Structure formats: structure tokens, C-alpha cells
Structure 1
Amino acid sequence: MTDIRTPRLLLRRWQDDDLVPLAEIQADPTVMQWIGDGRPRSLEETAGDIEAWEEEWDEEGFGIFAVELLGSGELAGAVGLYVADSPAEIADRIAIGWRLGRVHWGQGYGSEAAHATLEFALQDRGVDRVVAAARPGDTASANVLEKLGLQAEGTAHDPEHGHELRLYAIDLTEFEG
């Protein structure tokens, strides 16, 4: 089992008791406004997300981690790697993504978890390039991506949800871990 400890966080695989806390995070319209179609997700949809993330771990050797606060054991959200399926410009490439409960915003947890995820991609999985997509207006995610060293590489149209995306990438051989 792959666990990553940072100064304040534990990134780990999903457990059964993570479902309800993640469902509460994903039920928040403010948290979900920039993710997918922008709508909150139900308990059943969240269960499907966790199942898909765990399948990706089994199939690819990487996936979306549960993000736990070391001090309290509280689930703060999710961060990790996945194989992008769209838009075409980044399809089949390894992407990074995250979502944190609103109570955990503005404390650097997203940057800390994403940085550890990039180190994991490079050092443990031998990934040489990671991409990301963020919607215009999602300045918080854009700030984290830029802080991590990902460079803007243009825009694309999200065919599934109908909105524009800004595309980012980093060559991990240049990543300062």
C-alpha cells in the first residue's frame, strides 16, 4: 500500500469510512463548481468515484489519494494522478487533480499534497511528464499549478461538459522536488 507523509498530511489509498466525509465535500456546490460539470455529487456518485479511483490504482499503479490531516485524522479531500480521457489535447496522458473541503482552503494543503504527488510521480513511478486542466476563472487551482511549476500550454474545449479549459504541463525532469 502506498502512503505518503508530508509535514501535515497523509496521502493514502481509500478506506470504507472515507465515503461519507468525501460525499460531504463533494456535496458542496462551492467545492465542485470547477470540477466536471460543476454540480455537487451524491453519495452514490461519490462511491462510484472512489471505486473508479481504486480501480485506476490497481490498473495503473497510481491514482487519486485520500488526503488525511495528520493531526486529527480528518479527511480533507482528494489529490492524485489519473489518465486523462479528454479533451483530446491531453487524452491518455497522466494528469494531476485535486479537491479539498472548503474548510481546508487557504492553508496550503492543496499545494503540499500536489507537490508530494508530483514527487511520487517522478521518484516512485518514473513518470516524465504530468498535465493538468483548469477552467478559466478557477484562480486558486491556476495558482497551485503555477506554484508547482506547471506551465500554461494553451486552451482546449471540454467536449463532455462544454466549457473551455486551460491546459498546463510539467516535464518532471525539471521539477524541483
Structure 2
Amino acid sequence: MTVLRTARLLMREWKDDDVDPIARMVEDPRVGKYLSKFRNRAAVQAWIEAEREQFRRKGYGLFAVERSDPPEFVGFCGLTDVDYEAHFTPAVEIGWRLQPDCWGHGYASEAAAAVLDFGFEALKLNEIVANSSVDNLASRIVMERIGMSHDPKDDFDHPLKAPDDVLRRQVLYRITLQDWHRRRQAQLAPSSPVFGNAGG
């Protein structure tokens, strides 16, 4: 399996002992404010297994992210297929979730930039999207930092959320292969990942 390395982070395959830190992270109300929660610990385990299968089938998914020095679980970041119909689908989406005590250090932007490089360089994707609720400013800042752009005409109502859900209205950000190339050529990319296999 592919691993990604940045200046401060290791992005790797999931391990069984990642269940507990993931479960603790999603129980924090600050993490769950804008994102779906797991029902219980068994659901976390099932989710990890699904991510492993996604990597086996597609070659991409959500990586476990840990800080290199000192070693510490940070959260996850990676690519997934959008699993609902919308005006921009089919599409591959970048997403992340980090422990609150790791916020404010630039880890989300560093990890997400590495994932974009992987998506365009290794996977040869033509476009990557991201979405969030309108008032999730922290995620929107990360999307902008990694070079994604937002057109209000792309905003949409999430089809998997109830009409009265305050998170139903979503903003959509995009970055194309051409945009990514221009950003790289301008030497504005915030990280330089190293790709390798899990054994290397």
C-alpha cells in the first residue's frame, strides 16, 4: 500500500489499534459539529475495514495520519468517491478529520496538499473536489490554502441530509489537474510528499 510522507507527517495504512483513537476523536463534540459520528466502537472497526478494502480495490482511500516526531495519531486524510448523486458527480473527494489538540498547527493543510499531489501525480485524476457546510470556515480555509477554488454557483443541498438539517447547504470547492500543475509550477505547493510502499 502507498504511504505518504511530508515534513512532519506520516500517512499510512490503518491498523487495528487505530480503533480507540478514532473512537475517542469522534466522540469529541468539536469534531462532530460538522461531520457524521460513528454509532459505536464496532462501527469504527467496520469503517476501518471498509477503508482497507477501498485501498485494495481502488488504490486510494482515507489514510491514517500521524505526526512523525514525536509519533502521535493526528487523524485521517485522503480521497473517497462521492457516494451520492449531485450536479458534480461522479467525482473524487478529498476529506480530513483531525483531533482537536492537533488543530492550529497546519497539519490539515500539510496532509491535504500531499493527498492532492498523490491524486494528480500518482493516480492521474483530472479533478478533485471538496465540500463542507457553509459555516465550516476552518475546512474552507484549508481548501483555499491547498489551491482549491469556490464558485457559489456550485453550492448545493446535500441529498443525504434532511431538509431541516442545518448542515444541508454545502459549498463545493474544486481543483483540476491543470490548476494543480500551475500551482506546482509557481512553487506554491505547501508540501513535498514522498511516495513509497508500506514495506519501504
TM-score, length-scaled by structure 1: 0.93
| 1:99 matches 2:104 | no
- In structure 2, stretches of 5+ residues that fail to align are 163-167, 184-188, 190-200
Q: State whether residues 29 and 40 of structure 1, in contact with CA within 8 Å, keep that contact through their aligned partners in structure 2.
A: no
In the alignment, residue 165 of structure 1 is paired with which amino acid? Q
Moved more, 139-148 or 22-31: 22-31
Contact 1:81 1:97 in 2 (8 A): yes
In the aligned structure 2, how far is the partner of 1:27 from the partner of 1:56? Answer: 24
- How far 1:27 moved relative to its partner? 1.3
2:144 to 132, 146, 159: 146
> Following superposition of structure 1 onto structure 2, how do residues 27-176 of structure 1 map, counting pairs within 5 Å?
27-36=27-36, 39=37, 41-153=39-151, 154-162=154-162, 163-175=168-180, 176=183
Amino acid of the structure 2 residue aligned with 1:104: C
Conserved 8 A contact 2:82-2:89? yes
Q: Letter of the aligned partner of 2:71 in structure 1? A: G
Give the Å deviation of 1:42.
2.5
Q: In 2 relative to 1, CA 119–21 (structure 1 residues): closer, same or farther, beyond 3 Å?
A: same
CA separation in 1, counterparts of 2:31 and 2:133? 13
What is the deviation of 1:28? 1.0
| Number of residue equivalences | 175
Higher relative contact order (CA 8 A, sep 6+): 2
8 Å contact kept, 1:87–1:159: yes
1:93-148 deviations in Å (ceiling 9; x for gaps): 11000000000000000000000000000111111200111101100000000111
Question: 1:67, CA displacement in angstroms?
Answer: 0.3
Structure 1, unaligned runs of 5 or more: none
- How far did residue 89 of structure 1 move? 2.4
What TM-score does the superposition give when structure 2 sets the normalisation length?
A: 0.83
Q: CA RMSD in A?
A: 1.4
Q: Distance in 1 between matches of 2:17 and 2:128?
A: 30
Over 3 Å counting, the alpha-carbon distance change for 1:41 and 1:72 in structure 2 is: farther
Distance 1:66 1:76 in 2: 8
Note the C-alpha offset of 1:73: 2.0
* C-alpha contact (below 8 Å) 2:134/2:170 kept by paired residues: yes
